[in-house]
Amino acid sequence: MSNFLDRLIDISSIFNQSCVLCGSRAARQGLCAPCQADLPVLPRPACATCAQPLREPGLCGRCLRHPPAFDAIHVPYVFCYPISALVHAFKYGRQLELAGILGDLLATAAVDAGLRYDVVIAVPLSKERLAERGFNQSIELARALVGIIADRSSPGLCWRKCNTTPQAGLGPRQRRRNVRHAFCVETRLDGLSVAVVDDVITTGATLDSLSLELKKQGAKRVEGWALCRTLHLKT
Ligand SMILES: [Zn+2]
Ligand SMILES: [Zn+2]
């Protein structure tokens, strides 16, 4: 009997949560349906490789000029308010309860995409950055995708060699230089498809650098999964 009551209380607490954005409505998983519907969805069509929105389907100028090491990026939202505020609070404000909300948003996009990979990994943080932040936000997001896009995650598959300068605040060229050779993959991945999860895609330099290492180890296909991406005016 007490078990039954405990469960009832558990269920009611899910629905009695108030929405993290508007604060006014009861929200399942912390985000009400109207606020979820208002999130900035990435415009389509978009570049088949890097997901930069375009006027017509195809590839953007950047991907045509310099094809990246990754094969595609899947990203449901644009990095602007209010999702940018949620990501910021999650990452720097250590509001770990947001992991569930953001993970659900990414998982919903993954269910819709219906894609499968052999393994899902998160973009690793360096030891120093991990110690400073206390958690890796990308691992939290990757966890939400296990069982949807892949049956297993391999957090130890790759690691970040040195504590690179944070990408935020750097220009596109500096970003590329900053993450070049930053990752190490020690396991052979011959013939495998890999999904790499990050929170935000900006220039794609981090994903490109990690994808290159994964492909050196034999990965057949590498695709990025992120919650949102910034938009570039020039492609
Ligand atoms: Zn709301
Ligand atoms: Zn592109």
pLDDT tens, position by position, 162-218: 766 777 777 877 877 778 888 999 899 999 999 999 999 998 999 999 999 999 999
Expressed in angstroms and rounded, the spacing between residue 35 Cα and the centre of ligand 1 is 4
SS3 assignment, position 196: strand
State whether the Cα torsion 42-99-210-154 is positive or negative: negative
Expressed in angstroms and rounded, the spacing between residue 6 Cα and the centre of ligand 1 is 27
Higher pLDDT, 5 or 48: 48
Q: Which ligand is nearest to the CA of 203?
A: 2
pLDDT-derived band at 1, boundaries 50, 70, 90: very low
Q: Which ligand is nearest to the CA of 73?
A: 2
| Residues 27-73: tens digit of each pLDDT | 877 899 899 999 999 999 999 999 999 999 999 999 999 999 999 99
Q: Which ligand is nearest to the CA of 86?
A: 1
What's the rounded Cα separation, in Å, for the pair 211 and 185? 10
As a whole number, the mean pLDDT across the chain is: 89
Q: Which ligand is nearest to the CA of 27?
A: 1
Beta-strand relationship, 119-122 and 77-78: unpaired
Residue 143's pLDDT is 94
Expressed in angstroms and rounded, the spacing between residue 177 Cα and the centre of ligand 1 is 40
Is 70 exceeded by the pLDDT of residue 6?
no
Residue 5 CB contacts under 8 Å (≥ 6 apart), including other chains: none
Higher pLDDT, 64 or 157: 64
Expressed in angstroms and rounded, the spacing between residue 141 Cα and the centre of ligand 1 is 21
Q: Which two tokens stand for residue 11?
A: 């269920």
Q: Choose the weakest-confidence range: 18-32, 82-96, 111-125.
A: 18-32
Q: Which ligand is nearest to the CA of 46?
A: 2
Domains of the chain, first to last: 1-38 (no CATH), 41-229 (3.40.50)
Is 90 exceeded by the pLDDT of residue 109?
yes
131-134 long-range contacts (CB < 8 A, ≥24 apart) are 133/91, 133/92, 133/94, 134/94
pLDDT-derived band at 98, boundaries 50, 70, 90: very high
Expressed in angstroms and rounded, the spacing between residue 33 Cα and the centre of ligand 1 is 7
Expressed in angstroms and rounded, the spacing between residue 109 Cα and the centre of ligand 2 is 20
